[in-house]
Amino acid sequence: MNPAPYVGRFAPSPTGPLHFGSLVAAVASFLDARAAGGRWLLRMEDLDRPRCEPGAADTILRQLEAYGLHWDGAVIQQSQRDDAYAAALDALKARGAVYPCACTRSQLAQAPRNREGEILYPGTCRNGLPPGTIARAWRVRVPDVSARFHDRIQGDLEQNLARDVGDFIVKRADGLFAYQLAVVVDDAFQGITHVVRGADLLWNTPRQIYLQGLLGLPTPVYAHVPLITNAAGQKLSKQTLAPALPEAGRGAVLALALAVLGHPPPPELNDAGPAELLAWAGAHWRIGNVPLRPVIANTAP
């Protein structure tokens, strides 16, 4: 039997324009798909409406095109997919895999945190809502077992959901579906076989694999590319004021992105534009050459 054809994706959150860190993740997933002769889909993760910035989705599409990252098919938008997420939540309810939670943020302020700084839910509502409280959010009940998964870049990893994450939210108190649920529903809906994304999401992967199991959805193959940090060692993000990708000198920016992905273009491509650089990189792409560790890009544009 032939393996499933490769379908990859890039799933930016339109909270602002793409910066150098997001370009690196986009380029890695694009090249991995193209080198495998696969499709590369785009999904706008505009789920968290309050965090989205008006116009950012259009800006991201323009930036991807300008950098030669042409996607296949129609762009899907998470803001249009509440019905699919609601159906998945219903399926989880029918399995008894989720429970309503009445805890407020301030009640959980003292709860222990995991190594990512996320609240480790103490289980207050796990066996029923305390009398006199009302349901605010929905949480998934997680098992106290260590589960392993393989990452094509980071290697074999192990996480115990109960110990390291705790019962996590799939529908938030503000009525929005949580990223963990939406990403799993959408990766399956789009037929994604390979996820290549930033290592900031590595720690989320076991949650997603667990939800896929509960919902009877296939698990894609995962690869997490190193995070790009600024000179202060912080992840490039809107919060750390990472600048938007520059409009000029795109070839040089892309060459730098390829270099941090372990694929420095040869000197004869010094003056090449995005199309030529991506063609070269697609022909030379080896995921094993992508470094494990975060790369400091204090020279980043």
Q: Which residues bind ligand GLU (CB under 6 A)?
A: 11-13, 45, 183, 197, 201
Structural Rg of the chain based on CA atoms: 20
Shortest separation between residue 126's beta carbon and ligand GLU, angstroms: 27
Shortest separation between residue 119's beta carbon and ligand GLU, angstroms: 19
Q: Considering beta carbons, is residue 222 or 280 the nearer one to ligand GLU?
A: 222
CA distances from 52 to 10, 73, 208, 291 (A): 17, 23, 23, 31
Q: Considering beta carbons, is residue 29 or 101 the nearer one to ligand GLU?
A: 29
Shortest separation between residue 212's beta carbon and ligand GLU, angstroms: 13
β strands within 4-121, DSSP E: 7-10, 39-44, 76-77, 98-101
CA separation for the pair 45, 79 (Å, rounded): 8
Q: Considering beta carbons, is residue 29 or 251 the nearer one to ligand GLU?
A: 29
Q: Of 17, 117, 110, which Cα lies nearest the Cα of 67?
A: 17
CB 7 within 8 A of CB 38: yes
Q: Considering beta carbons, is residue 28 or 258 the nearer one to ligand GLU?
A: 28
How wide is the angle at C-alpha 199 spanned by C-alphas 198 and 202, nearest 5°? Answer: 115
Q: Considering beta carbons, is residue 183 or 188 the nearer one to ligand GLU?
A: 183
Q: Considering beta carbons, is residue 157 or 201 the nearer one to ligand GLU?
A: 201
Shortest separation between residue 27's beta carbon and ligand GLU, angstroms: 14
Shortest separation between residue 231's beta carbon and ligand GLU, angstroms: 22
Residues 6+ away with beta carbon under 8 Å from 115: 164, 203
Shortest separation between residue 123's beta carbon and ligand GLU, angstroms: 27
Residues in the chain: 301
One-letter amino acid at 154 equals Q
